[in-house]
Structure 1
Amino acid sequence: MDLPKYNGNIHPDEWINDIQKYLKLRNNNYTSNDHLEIAKTLVDTNISLPTGIDSFEKLRNTLKEDISFTIFKNTNERKLQSLNYIPESRGGDTSKFISNFLKLCYNAEINDIEEQKNYLFKSLPMSCYFSREFYKKMENMNSINELIKKFEDIVVEESRLIKNESIVALKHVTTGKYLSSVENVRYTSGTGFQLVFAESPVPDPNSLWKIKFDKELATYTNTSIKLQHVKSSNKFLGIFYGYDGIKYDYYKSPSTNHTEVSCNFINNGSWNDSWKFNHSKLENNQRYLKSNDIINLSIKKTIDYRGNFNQNGQVEFLRSHDIQFAVDNDTFQEVICHNERLGGNDEWCIELIKQHIWSIDALQQ
């Protein structure tokens, strides 16, 4: 290993520390004065050293007074200004980013915690989540270690967020089975549409859904969602009503005579596939929907028995239970909607399978 030379492209403090450590390991017979003289010979000839430098402290101060150090600091500060954090979902590396951020702060001698916060904030993606969470969590930070720890907390939580068009699975909490559908396997009663049921104890292709809403992130306060079955051709989870010769009503489930839940796509008022969700444990939750949240899913019956639109129609909740129904020679665990008292059978754990990656252009809209 060669002795590290100083040419203005490293911080003087770091270079002097490296030189002292290296020389102590290389030869214990050298005096501290010998170490100083060797260090002085390693300074680039473009950097002028005055006479009278008789300590490492004086050498350090001389190097910091040279124009090369001013350029070095300014260069690192400009790199800080242009630094961009790329989430790991988009191919970034948080560990390398933080290492680079800390190194640039050190090289630019940015030691004030408020300045460090500002540079870190400017590096973040243009996302309402990052902006909101950063200011909320960073408000009372007093050290760089606290700053980095809270930043890591934000990154971990961001990786669990359910974003628009992400792929999710919904596990029925009580029975441990996943909300599923199979292309062109249909009810033999009711609508005759593609059936919905709870089946596999692990996520499989039939239990994958693409979640859709009108913004990047779904909040608990005011977001309507649609659930598109991944393995079917443009079919969504929903309910359907029809006319039985006497009145209009929503079709009934095969076993318990509750509202039938099916998988289809019909572009008219008879079909409703717009769902609301709320956290089953936390009332008035103001947070974003994220993986492993336990939720209730609800849908509104917007058509009355006369066939008229009713914006104040009955709200019903998605439920499954151990009750089975048969189609041909196969049995399925029933999934229905109801307006009864909520309980454990109405709880669903939403699991993120694949987070959708939003482009910068989409985030700016």
Structure 2
Amino acid sequence: MADSLANQSKIPMVAITVHPTKYNGTQDPESWLQDIRFFCRLHGIDEEEDIVSFSMLKVDPMIYVPEKTSTFSGLVKALKSHVTYPVMEASALHNLRKLKYSSNMEMSDFISTFLSLCRSASVRNLEEQKSYLLNSLHDDNIRNVLSTKFRNVDEFDWVIKIFQGILYEYPLHQIRYGSRITIKHCVTGQYLSHGEHKPIEPGSQSSRVYCNGCKPKENEVWIVTSPYSENKSPGDPVRFNSIIGLSHGKSRANLSASDDRDDKSCNWVARRHTTESGYHNDNSGVWAIGDIIILEHVNNRLPLYTRVQDYEGNQEVVLEGDGFEENNKWYAEIVGQ
């Protein structure tokens, strides 16, 4: 009785084999043939001539393959000589040019798609492959970083490893709302600072900021905040030309223009520094560690500027210049990185 029940409970094991698709000119011939060969090996078909013979049965009749074809190379050559092949190749190249990487994508899926399109489009030159990878990125900053990293790399495997590494690491370098940063003057190497209360005029509650020191301390730490009347989500990246606030980490005082008393006096525009006219207004890309920027006051459109030292060795910070000058150049570092 027990044996009978045991036999009834046994589930027969079956092998389910998916037949390879018919070749109709929309596939890469070499990839398609590889699938055919795998299928044949599973079914004990090992001879090249037999595999080719079976493969020809899976080719759409509209695609001519010489009847005497008996080798893999001969079959691939015949498939590539048909008009459908250059059409497929051009389509793959078009899709490769449109391919864009998104942080929401799985890196493995993106790389797999990229490699498949390169193969189908016959893009085998390493410099071309680098170019298409760079073109897949939306962010100018990370594209520039990768372009520099790629420059002396002559192995495709290393190109992919660098691409993956930078894409995973780069978000850690982005300036975000809520980031605790130091702001360093490019020319002098000193940091934007706010220490003891130094009123801008007798009896004023506003105190001066200045540049001081080559090693940042607690007086040189600032917090990137939402601008007045806006509520940015903490952790959101700050894009170029965004309006931000800067709150002093220790005193919580807001950086503002001394001669401005309205509610927006604490609002600043983070622009990329450039020597090209009009490029200030390019808002592509995210502000990141090391990007050279200008901090422009929203109301009077003047940029932050530092100049002569006072008797204590501090550099005065004012609003001055056109944004193209060397003394308007600053860059940020994230505290703790």
TM-score for the superposition, normalised by structure 2: 0.54
What residue ranges of structure 2 are gaps of 5+ in the alignment?
Answer: 1-17, 182-203, 206-221, 228-237, 269-286, 291-306, 316-332
Q: CA deviation at 1:315?
A: 6.8
Q: CA deviation at 1:211?
A: 4.9
Distance in 1 between the 2:163 and 2:170 partners?
Answer: 11
2:224 is the alignment partner of 1:210? yes
2:157 is the alignment partner of 1:142? no
Q: Is the 8 A contact 1:5 1:43 kept in 2?
A: yes
Q: Match for 1:210: what amino acid? A: V
Q: Runs (4+) of structure 1 moved beyond 6 Å?
A: 270-275
Q: Is the 8 A contact 1:81 1:119 kept in 2?
A: yes
Distance in 2 between the 1:30 and 1:85 partners?
Answer: 40
Aligned counterpart, 2:28? 11
Q: CA deviation at 1:351?
A: 6.0
Alignment of 1:190-339 (within 5 A): 209-211=223-225, 216=239, 228=246, 236-237=247-248, 261-263=251-253, 268-269=258-259, 289=289, 312-313=309-310
Q: 1:350 to 1:266 in 2, by over 3 A?
A: closer
Distance in 1 between the 2:225 and 2:107 partners?
Answer: 27
Higher relative contact order (CA 8 A, sep 6+): 1
Aligned counterpart, 2:302? none
2:175 is the alignment partner of 1:167? no
Q: Is the 8 A contact 2:123 2:129 kept in 1?
A: yes
Give the 3-state SS of the residue equivalent to 1:16 in structure 2. helix
Q: CA deviation at 1:111?
A: 0.6
Distance in 1 between the 2:134 and 2:82 partners?
Answer: 32
Distance in 1 between the 2:105 and 2:53 partners?
Answer: 44
2:91 is the alignment partner of 1:80? no
Q: CA deviation at 1:46?
A: 1.5
> Could you say what the CA RMSD is over the residues aligned between the two structures, in angstroms?
4.3
Distance in 1 between the 2:172 and 2:239 partners?
Answer: 14
Distance in 2 between the 1:266 and 1:159 partners?
Answer: 29
Alignment of 1:119-138 (within 5 A): 119-127=132-140, 129-138=141-150
Aligned counterpart, 1:24? 41
More strand by proportion, 1 or 2? 1
Q: Match for 2:173: what amino acid? A: L
Q: Is the 8 A contact 1:217 1:289 kept in 2?
A: no
Aligned counterpart, 1:322? none
More helix by proportion, 1 or 2? 2
Q: CA deviation at 1:216?
A: 4.1
Q: CA deviation at 1:44?
A: 0.7
Give the 3-state SS of the residue equivalent to 1:153 in structure 2. helix
What residue ranges of structure 1 are gaps of 5+ in the alignment?
Answer: 171-189, 192-207, 219-224, 229-235, 239-259, 276-286, 291-309, 318-347, 353-365
Q: 1:37 to 1:349 in 2, by over 3 A?
A: closer
Identity %: 23
Q: 1:265 to 1:62 in 2, by over 3 A?
A: closer
Q: 1:144 to 1:102 in 2, by over 3 A?
A: same
Aligned counterpart, 2:58? 42
Give the 3-state SS of the residue equivalent to 1:210 in structure 2. strand
Aligned counterpart, 1:356? none
Q: Aligned pair count?
A: 221
Q: Match for 2:289: what amino acid? A: L
